[in-house]
Structure 1
Amino acid sequence: MNKDIINVTSEGRLTLPEKIRNVLNIGKGSKLIVTMEKKYILLKPMTSLSELYGIDREIWKRRDVKKDVLELREEWDKGFRDRVEP
């Protein structure tokens, strides 16, 4: 594992080394997911939406989405009526 030392600005900004940006295809506007585990900061490039397309297809095949939406609307309407009506 290669190690680099980078500086953090007073605004909390840091610059990733060019070789890391190139390998991970990180450029201007790229989004990174930041997590902290124990005393470590982990940065992971955010997966693009095109890579996520269809990932949950099997889950939704087994669901009656229209029924789910109608049930949620009814719950919301009931909650709203309970708050508004005396």
Structure 2
Amino acid sequence: VHAALAGYVAAARRHAPQDRRLSGAPTAMVLNGAYLVETAGVGGFAALVRELADRHPEIRLELTGPWPPYSFVAEGPAEPVQTVREPAW
């Protein structure tokens, strides 16, 4: 499922599955994916999710969003701390 979805989008990330106590789902989460979809491709992506759900009735696929693209921001090296002092006049 992840490979099919990732092949359709600009970027994809797999996150750790959420605990059922957080998600409220009755079953364990096996995939927690984030997919960066171009605006023009949203309808096709949703159709692909429905197709995959039909192809794999043993799993529940849930599509949510849109979400801010924070999942795709790379963490850079920390910048040094700068101490700013007021003039002592």
Shared fold per TM-score greater than 0.5? no
TM-score per shorter chain, which class? under 0.3
TM-score by length of 1: 0.23
Q: What TM-score comes out, normalization by structure 2 length?
A: 0.23
